[in-house]
Amino acid sequence: MNVKIPGECPAMWRTEYEEKTTTVSDLKGVVSPGSCVYVESGCGEPQHLVKHLILENTKLCDVQVYTSVPLSTYSDFGGDYGSRFRIQSFFISPNMTSAFADGRADHLPMSSLGKYKLFSEGYITINTALIQLSPPDAKGFMSLGVTVDIMRSIIEKADVVVAQINRYMPVTGGDTLVHVRDVDHIVELDEPLVSYPLLEPDPEVMQVGEHISRLIEDGATLQIGFGRIPDAALIFLKGKKDLRIHSEIITDSVVDLAVSGAVSRSSADCREGGITASLCIGSERVFGFVSGNQQVEMRSLSDIISPGTILSREKFTAINGAIEIDLTGQSCVGMGDQMGYFGALGHAVFNRTAMFSPGGKGIIALRSTSRDGSLSRIVPEFTDRKIGIVTTQSDVNYVVTEYGSVNLFGKSIRERALALITIAHPRFRQWLLDEAKRMNYVYEDQVLPPEGAGYPGSYESLCRFGDKGLLVRPVKVTDERAVQNLFYAMSKDDRFHRFLMHVSSLHHKQAQDLVTVDYTSSMALVIQNGQGRQDEIVAVAHIAPEESRGARKVCEFAAMVDPLWQNQGIGTFLLRRMIAVGREMGYSHMRAYVWEDNRQMLKAFEKLGCGMTQELDCHVYRVSLAID
């Protein structure tokens, strides 16, 4: 290949470039017996160099081959016991699963920070580095293109650097330039980059992605992990505004999101593009998108993964997957037939640090079951001996499945176990509850909604009361403590009006009854204020069956409203909403028992107009209303 240099006169570096240009046939001895080689990986893998200097090089002997994200399908794994070479990888992709599971290759379970430290501080000496670059510009600079990763550190530390110059490698912005003087040997060979197109998400994965999207705010900065679930989340973010990407990888889904207009053109301080990353893993569409795109900055992994950088971003939200999560909240990756993508890399650092950025969130997402539905992925204890814990009990924040999301931050083991059971597959919830009782994680008398009583998410909505936006949603069994807090916030008179008796305490047994409904004949709606440090329930309304005579079905209504939120129309709102819910449940009439001086509740009924009757008996009004 003849590299054409812009300008009339040859550049000073041209001679050096030509002197370093060679062929793979002349480089067979560049990898010495017993040496260590680092291969640029992901979509930037120099396939020509790997093929001829590693896979087909019969002269290799006891060589250690280090790589980060091997996406190619290797035809050879170095002979028995690594007699020729042995692969040492920080990440396992599906194409490499069998080799690692069979013990023909090694996995290094390290974070991205650890990986950077390992080579930059000389814990491992790299004798030969195989890299891939774009053709040089007029000043002799070549671009790392789609894979910056830790390559600058590798280039600086390696004894010998061999570069494949490939016109298919795009020139990208950021910290990507390598000068001719920084490489020792140059091999010119054009070939398409390793392509890794999107995997089609199944319906369950799409549901997980939709639930994740509800946690993402406008103006958030996102880190996206590798796999179907993080990609699915991005599909549902195209209506968001002013998002930014700060992530190890850019995938086709990131490109789709950027093209939709949801991603800002620049960072909040306008110092860099709206997308900062270290690797591109995807199809040719990704390679074309990043080529010369000022919206994209490709940076060293040490910059991307820096806790200081993450903490400086408001609403930093990390989205990562897991294979299993136990009832205490620790999640894992593992090796086995169900494994998709396996490796810690930036997962733990991003998740942990995101939680402590201003308004940030760490999200761990997974399917509730294995793909064939035979195994629960929420488990009492991890099921695979080879599993590695990535997110610890102390670092867990949000967990999402296709059945919803829960926030475990600040929750006890009892609260976490119960919350996770509510987003497990319904078929496994009773088993999980029984196991949680056996392990003394939850109360012995803890109950769940009846099997088949699916959470009616359609009743969720955001409503404004005054200048505050509050969430209205069906009650959950995990609301027990919040309902207790509401009870104790109420005055003595308010409690009497709610229960028509003097009640000074609301212990677990009573509180559990208030949060356990079947969503078909009984229902409770809560109004939640999530603007504080803790999600706070400011009101709750119940309906439950009272009598049924032929076509006449009657439900009873009752409600509690925090004194600080009274006189803002919340009681009237809940009454109207529960009338609509009762009607959908097939009730023909609603009834309430109201103490005679409870003017607020009586006034709420009176606002409904005609069709209401009141009967006073022993200081209690029996209020009846036709709702069909």
CA-CA distance, 203 to 454, in Å (whole number)?
17
For residues 428 and 392, give the distance between their C-alpha atoms in angstroms, rounded to a whole number.
Answer: 23
Residue 582 φ/ψ, nearest 5 degrees: -60, -40
Distances (CA, A) of 554 to 184, 449, 589, 625: 85, 22, 5, 9
Helix (H) or strand (E) holding 85: strand 85-89
- Which of 40, 188, 248, 415 is catalytic? The answer is 248
With CA atoms as reference, report the closest residue to 78 among 91, 90, 67: 67
Confirm if 563 and 557 have CB atoms less than 8 A apart: no
Residues facing 263 on adjacent strands: 243
The answer to whether 318 touches 361, Cβ cutoff 8 Å, is yes
CA 279, 283, 286 angle in degrees (round to 5)?
A: 55
Please give the Cα distance from 15 to 47 (Å, whole number): 26
- In the residue annotation, 204 being an active-site residue is answered as no
Number of continuous H segments (helices) and E segments (strands) in the chain: 19, 32
Q: Where are the alpha helices (DSSP H) in 54-157?
A: 97-101, 112-120, 151-157
Specify whether the CB–CB gap between 543 and 491 falls below 8 A.
no
43 and 196 in contact (C-beta within 8 Å)? Answer: yes
Cα 433 from Cα 440, distance rounded (Å):
10
* Catalytic residue ranges: 248
